[in-house]
Amino acid sequence: MANTDWSDESLIAGIQSGGPAREDALKRLYQTPGLREAVIRYVLDNGGDRQDAQDIFQEALVLFDRNIREGRFEGKSALRTYFVAIAKWRWVTVRRQQGRYAELSPAHYDGEVDSPEAETIRSEYRELFQEALGQIGDRCRELLRLYQLDYSMEEIARTMQYGSADVAKKEAYRCRMRFRELLENHPEYAALLQRF
Amino acid sequence: MTRAEQRFEQIEQYLRRQMSPEEAAAFEAEMAADADLAELVQQHRLERQGLELLVERDLLAQMQAWDRETALLQSVAPPRRTGASPLKVLFRAAAIAAVFVTAFFGWWLLRDSGSGSVPETTPVAEAPAKDKKKSPVIRKPAPAKPSAPKTAPYKETETEDGLAGQEQPRQAETPAPIEEIPETATAVDYAALAGEFYRERDFIPPKGSKGGGSASYNQALDNYRDGRLGNVITQLKPEMNQGADALLRRELLGHTYYKNGQFEAAFEEFRALAATRQQPYAQRAEWAMALTLLHQMPAKKALLDRVLAGILADPGHPFYSQAKALKNRGL
């Protein structure tokens, strides 16, 4: 049953617990009245168009989800404020990449979000990652997605119909090694690893 | 469990912050003393960044589904009640009463003057659709009588795109009567639907990134972003199959045609790209093919069905969720 009491704490707990609770929490946030409008207003006021604003809103949710899962939110502000700050930071990053802004200060957001460098690496090497992910097979992709979302091995075994948590763990390891091998075979990977 | 597996698990626990502060401190000390371990941890961290793409892809598809859900809810929500003046209410009631009285009078006249039995439903010839974007209709053959000429069977063909296809049934000399069943109550605007599903960033490198191609490709990319589509076509077409970034070039050319409304030309580029089977280009091209065909609906329905079926046959396809959502929109 969906949680109807959505305090900041319950949203965080929902996202961190993964599975349907995470989806419920993210959906709730995505549909929070006024949140999208706040992001759209900021982007429109700062040189973007409506499509940019919609993209930034969605990208902000992706970053927000990741930061919450990784425990990077330190509770210094309300969750809504944090979300809007991520969106602003993201838009400033995009504008800076376009050569439009120079005044970005990552420290402005308390280091709770990715550094611009990490973000740049991530966007530059998306192709490389996507290529490797495209070759590891459907089951490995799904398994690694669940693993990345911190599903327990028992949950993974149940969801993907493996005989036991041990089998799921073996499979996760095998898939991860396959992913690594594909990355290592890529000529640009060594350079990426050096820069990272 | 092998030693490598144990190490793997230990690193993952560290990166997932599943270690106690003491364990984490001990592990960090070990890393400080062992450069190989530190490098391995960095490698894990980088891989985890890459794996985030799986989560991101899934979440973006979910957001699209939530948007569609919201749009659907808004479209079926009862109209907002507005405060009508008593005079307006009276006028409406009078109008409705007048319609009923006229209808009854007409029925009464027809009943008295009719000499034979009146069919329960009178077939009414449907006017040809004026707007191509109107709701598609399913032409459902009426149950054939034994003496009625049969509709020509569907013919399996090998189409130019290499996919086994179905031709439209050939018109029989005396076609069986058809009844038209609107698929949905509201008109389907295929161009709008394609616009809803087409996300440029699924295909084109984001603004500010270099794009990963040669200098001439990057120049074409800049032109694309600035809307100088004619220049892009002139730049890319002559050297389409040359260079290490040939796939990128073809992809950009396809999307330039798409953006320019040249859907048939766009389809050809995407089809060629899909045929290379080189990922992720081919999978992106398959989804782009579907969106291009959507603009050419309903004429390209059979081909669109096959392209979508191809994507839906692979649950790991990066555009599986989108294809499923599109299919669920009554296509």
Q: Is the pLDDT of residue B4 over 70?
A: yes
Cis amide leading into B298 (omega within 30): yes
| pLDDT given for residue B206 in this prediction | 67
Is A123's Cβ below 8 Å from some Cβ in B? yes
- Token digits for B237? 């077409």
Contact B60, A62 (CB under 8 A): yes
Higher model confidence: residue B84 or residue A26? Answer: A26
The confidence band for B239, taking pLDDT boundaries of 50, 70 and 90, is low
- Lowest average pLDDT, out of A93-107, A119-133, A178-192, B121-135, goes to B121-135
Of the partner residues B45, B51, B59, the one whose CB lies closest to the CB of residue A62: B59
The tally of CA atoms less than 13 A away on the side-chain side of residue A114 is: 21
The confidence band for B111, taking pLDDT boundaries of 50, 70 and 90, is low
| pLDDT given for residue B173 in this prediction | 34
| pLDDT given for residue B148 in this prediction | 36
Q: Is the pLDDT of residue B157 over 50?
A: no
| pLDDT given for residue B155 in this prediction | 34
| pLDDT given for residue B319 in this prediction | 87
Pick from B1, B57, B63 the residue to mutate for testing the A interface (most A CBs within 10 Å): B63
Residues in CB range of B195: below 8 A, 6 or more apart: none
Q: Is the pLDDT of residue B323 over 60?
A: yes
Q: Is the pLDDT of residue A33 over 80?
A: yes
| pLDDT given for residue B174 in this prediction | 35
| pLDDT given for residue B160 in this prediction | 36
**β-strands B178-182, B164-166: how paired?**
unpaired
Q: What are the sequence ranges of the domains in chain A?
A: 8-113, 127-195
Q: What is the mean pLDDT of residues A77-105?
A: 79
- Token digits for A11? 């949203």
Of the partner residues B50, B60, B212, the one whose CB lies closest to the CB of residue A62: B60
- Lowest average pLDDT, out of A105-109, B126-130, B136-140, goes to B136-140
Q: How far is A135 from A157, CA to CA, in rounded Å?
A: 22
pLDDT tens digits, one per residue of B38-92: 999 999 998 998 899 899 888 988 898 888 878 777 766 655 554 555 566 666 7
Where are the strands (E) in B95-174, listed by range? 137-141, 156-158, 164-166
Q: Is the pLDDT of residue B141 over 60?
A: no
Q: How far is B120 from B134, CA to CA, in rounded Å?
A: 29
| pLDDT given for residue A175 in this prediction | 96
| pLDDT given for residue A36 in this prediction | 94
| pLDDT given for residue B2 in this prediction | 87
- Helix B190-197 vs helix B320-327: angle between axes, to the nearest 10 degrees? 160
The confidence band for B94, taking pLDDT boundaries of 50, 70 and 90, is confident
Q: DSSP letter at B149?
A: P
Q: Quick one: how far is CA A42 from the chain centroid?
A: 21
Is B313's Cβ below 8 Å from some Cβ in A? no
Q: What is the mean pLDDT of residues A155-174?
A: 93
The confidence band for A181, taking pLDDT boundaries of 50, 70 and 90, is very high
* Average confidence score pLDDT of chain B: 72
pLDDT tens digits, one per residue of A119-159: 666 666 777 888 899 889 889 999 999 999 888 899 899 98
Name the A residues in 14-73 with CB < 8 Å from any B CB.
23, 26-27, 30-31, 55, 58, 61-62, 65-66, 70-71
Is B71's Cβ below 8 Å from some Cβ in A? no
The confidence band for A92, taking pLDDT boundaries of 50, 70 and 90, is confident
ipTM given for this complex: 0.85
| pLDDT given for residue A20 in this prediction | 83
Q: How far is CA B58 from CA A62, B61, B106, in A?
A: 10, 5, 60
**B180 pairs with which residues across the strands?**
B139
* Average confidence score pLDDT of chain A: 84
| pLDDT given for residue B170 in this prediction | 34
> What predicted TM-score, i.e. pTM, was given to this entire model?
0.51
Domains contained in chain B, CATH given: 1-49 (no CATH), 190-327 (1.25.40.10)
Where are the strands (E) in chain A, listed by range? none
- What is the CATH class of A8-113? mainly alpha
Task: Give how far A175 is from chain B: nearest CA, Å.
Answer: 11
Is B59's Cβ below 8 Å from some Cβ in A? yes
pLDDT tens digits, one per residue of B273-322: 888 888 888 889 999 999 999 988 888 888 898 899 888 888 778 888 88
| pLDDT given for residue B237 in this prediction | 74
| pLDDT given for residue B184 in this prediction | 39
Q: How far is CA B37 from CA B18, B40, B43, B329, in A?
A: 18, 5, 10, 51
Question: Using the beta-carbon criterion (under 8 Å), do A31 and B47 form an inter-chain contact?
Answer: no
Counting DSSP H helices and E strands in chain A, the numbers are 11, 0
- Lowest average pLDDT, out of A90-99, A176-185, B10-19, B97-106, goes to B97-106
Sign of the dihedral through C-alpha A159, A7, B64, A68: negative
Residues in CB range of A108: below 8 A, 6 or more apart: A89
Residues in CB range of A189: below 8 A, 6 or more apart: A128, A183
3-state percent breakdown (helix, strand, coil) of chain B, nearest 5: 55, 5, 40
Chain A residue whose CA is closest to B58: A145
Question: What is the identity of the amino acid at A190?
Answer: A
Of the partner residues A31, A62, A122, the one whose CB lies closest to the CB of residue B66: A31
Question: Using the beta-carbon criterion (under 8 Å), do A27 and B46 form an inter-chain contact?
Answer: no
| pLDDT given for residue A1 in this prediction | 41
Question: Using the beta-carbon criterion (under 8 Å), do A96 and B208 form an inter-chain contact?
Answer: yes
Residues in CB range of B178: below 8 A, 6 or more apart: B139, B140, B141, B142
The confidence band for B33, taking pLDDT boundaries of 50, 70 and 90, is very high
Q: Is the pLDDT of residue A164 over 90?
A: yes
Q: What is the mean pLDDT of residues B174-202?
A: 62
Pick from A52, A72, A122 the residue to mutate for testing the B interface (most B CBs within 10 Å): A122
